[in-house]
C-alpha cells in the first residue's frame, strides 16, 4: 500500500472514529489474499470515565494484537454471513449449526 493510500486510510479512520465516538479500531486491508495494511487506532483500555475518550496518562494505546471485547455485536455479522452463504448456495438456512 502506498504512503498516500496509508495517509488517506488514517485520515478516514480518524474522522469516522471522532464523528462516532469510537474508542478503538483494529483494521486490516487485504489485497490478493495478502495483508496490505494493518494498523490499530485508539485505546486498548478506556479510562474509568468511558464517556470521555481523551487520552490520559493511564490510557493504553491499542495495537494490532489488542484483544477487544466485542459483546453481542458479532451476532449481526454472523447472521449476515450466513445469509450471504445461503444466497450463494453454500448452505441452507435449514442446515445444522455444525455445517
How do residues 20-41 score in pLDDT, each as one tens digit?
A: 988 899 999 999 999 999 999 9
Q: Do 56 and 23 meet the contact criterion of CB atoms below 8 Å apart?
A: no
Whether the predicted pLDDT of 69 surpasses 80: no
Please give the Cα distance from 1 to 50 (Å, whole number). Answer: 34
Q: Measured in whole angstroms, how far is the alpha carbon of residue 93 from the centre of its chain? A: 27
How do residues 49-59 score in pLDDT, each as one tens digit?
A: 555 555 554 56
Please give the Cα distance from 64 to 42 (Å, whole number). Answer: 11
Amino acid at each position: 500500500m502506498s504512503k498516500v493510500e496509508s495517509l488517506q486510510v488514517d485520515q478516514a479512520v480518524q474522522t469516522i472514529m471522532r464523528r462516532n465516538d469510537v474508542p478503538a479500531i483494529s483494521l486490516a486491508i487485504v489485497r490478493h489474499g495478502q495483508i496490505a495494511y494493518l494498523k490499530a487506532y485508539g485505546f486498548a483500555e478506556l479510562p474509568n470515565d468511558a464517556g470521555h475518550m481523551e487520552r490520559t496518562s493511564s490510557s493504553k494505546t491499542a495495537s494490532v494484537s489488542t484483544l477487544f471485547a466485542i459483546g453481542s455485536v458479532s451476532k449481526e455479522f454472523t447472521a449476515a454471513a450466513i445469509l450471504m452463504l445461503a444466497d450463494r448456495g453454500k448452505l441452507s438456512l435449514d442446515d445444522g449449526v455444525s455445517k
